């Protein structure tokens, strides 16, 4: 599941700069560990998530919107077992590319279907996202 919020400047030209912050849950799970000669068992909770902080540009071509960005990822892996919490964090560069198709358009609101590829090579994390993007003008001048 990936969620994102961002701000963009809609210019007179076909390139629009943006800045976005998003979060994705990449994996989570629970494992039951039995008692053994090394100690008592219990429940191990695991979670892997990533924050994506990225500036970039978009370009509208007919009803398609192309998107590219390069920024910072904060990858957090955490474990909880018998009341102990452990986590590790990596902060590699992240890049993203996407294409959206406009389904609904009014002068101040737009609704797109979008496919996006996000990769943080330094953290060995890559994912695809398919979703719906809603855009609206909060301020006009």
Token pair 């892997």 in the structure block, residue: 48
Distance in angstroms (rounded) separating the CA atoms of residues 52 and 40: 38
Name the burial class of residue 7, with classes exposed (0-12), middle (13-18) and buried (19+) by CB atoms within 10 angstroms of its CB: exposed
CATH of 2-31+43-136, one of 2.40.160.20, 3.40.50.11270, 3.40.50.300, 3.20.20.70: 2.40.160.20
Mean pLDDT of 53-60: 95
Is residue 111 predicted with pLDDT exceeding 90? yes
More confident residue, 87 or 136: 87
Mention every residue, 6+ apart, whose C-beta is less than 8 A from residue 120: 50, 73, 75, 90, 92, 93, 94, 126
Give pLDDT, residue 6: 92
Report DSSP state, residue 124: T
What pTM does this model have?
0.85
Under DSSP, the state recorded for 138 is S
Measured from the Cβ of residue 84, the count of other Cβ atoms closer than 10 Å reads 7
Instruction: Map out the domains of the chain as residue ranges.
Output: 2-31+43-136
Q: How confident is the model at residue 7 (pLDDT cuts 50, 70, 90)?
A: very high
């Amino acid at each position: 599941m990936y969620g994102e919020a961002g701000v963009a400047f809609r210019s007179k030209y076909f390139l629009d700069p943006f800045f976005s912050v998003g979060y994705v849950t990449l994996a989570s799970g629970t494992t039951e560990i039995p008692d053994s000669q090394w100690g008592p068992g219990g429940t191990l909770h695991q979670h892997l998530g990533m924050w994506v902080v990225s500036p970039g540009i978009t370009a509208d071509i007919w009803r398609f919107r192309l998107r590219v960005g390069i920024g910072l990822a904060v990858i957090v892996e955490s474990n909880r077992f018998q009341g102990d919490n452990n986590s590790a964090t990596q902060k590699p560069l992240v890049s993203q590319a996407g294409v959206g198709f406009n389904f609904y358009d009014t002068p101040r609101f737009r609704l797109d279907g979008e496919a996006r590829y996000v990769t943080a090579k330094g953290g060995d994390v890559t994912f695809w996202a398919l979703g719906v993007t809603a855009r609206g003008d909060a301020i006009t001048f």
